[in-house]
């Protein structure tokens, strides 16, 4: 399963100064500065991403598993879709509320385990589904990489 596209980044109104110690900033540590400035802002203040994405699924067993996982997370079928993601921070977590094509949003809770420098990861909880994820920072971009799945 892959999604491509370049969404717009719309900051949410901030009730006060940036949370300089968000869970995201703590997890990345010194590597937080390697993220693109818009990603740094998003993960310091929260915000909303809007845009078109194209979803594709693999073939064979990987495709079957990807489609099943996507269904549990209410991802749409292959093709172009409008995506809206609102990102907010709690002291010990990252919250994503995502909606495809104007459907009801689905909220995921991301809890950090350890930190990037020590090989840490995130646990994404969406309903009964748990994804163990790490992040690869490539050219300022944030790329989730799945380490495991738990139901």
Q: Enumerate the domain spans of the chain.
A: 2-12+20-150
What global pTM score does this model have?
A: 0.81
Q: Cβ of 21: how many Cβ atoms within 10 Å?
A: 11
| 1 half-sphere exposure, CB direction, 13 A CA radius | 17
Q: Give the tens place of pLDDT for each residue, 60-106.
A: 998 898 898 888 888 999 999 999 999 999 989 999 999 999 999 99
Q: What are the Cα distances from residue 77, in Å, to 2, 6, 72, 99, 113?
A: 11, 19, 12, 14, 31
Higher pLDDT, 21 or 19: 21
Beta pairing partners, 47: 11, 87
Most distant pair of Cα atoms in the chain: their distance: 49
């Amino acid at each position: 399963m892959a999604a491509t596209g370049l969404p717009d980044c719309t900051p949410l109104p901030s009730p006060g100064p940036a949370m300089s110690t968000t869970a995201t900033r703590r997890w990345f540590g010194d590597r937080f500065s390697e993220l693109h400035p818009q990603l740094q802002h998003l993960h310091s203040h929260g915000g909303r991403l809007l845009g078109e994405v194209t979803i594709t699924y693999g073939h064979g067993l990987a495709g079957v598993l990807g489609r099943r996982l996507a269904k549990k997370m209410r991802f749409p079928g292959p093709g172009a879709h409008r995506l809206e993601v609102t990102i907010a921070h709690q002291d010990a977590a990252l919250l994503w509320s995502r909606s495809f094509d104007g459907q009801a949003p689905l909220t995921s809770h991301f809890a950090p385990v350890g930190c990037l420098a020590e090989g840490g990861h995130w646990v994404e909880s969406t309903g009964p589904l748990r994804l163990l994820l790490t992040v690869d920072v490539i050219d300022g971009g944030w790329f989730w990489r799945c380490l495991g799945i738990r139901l």
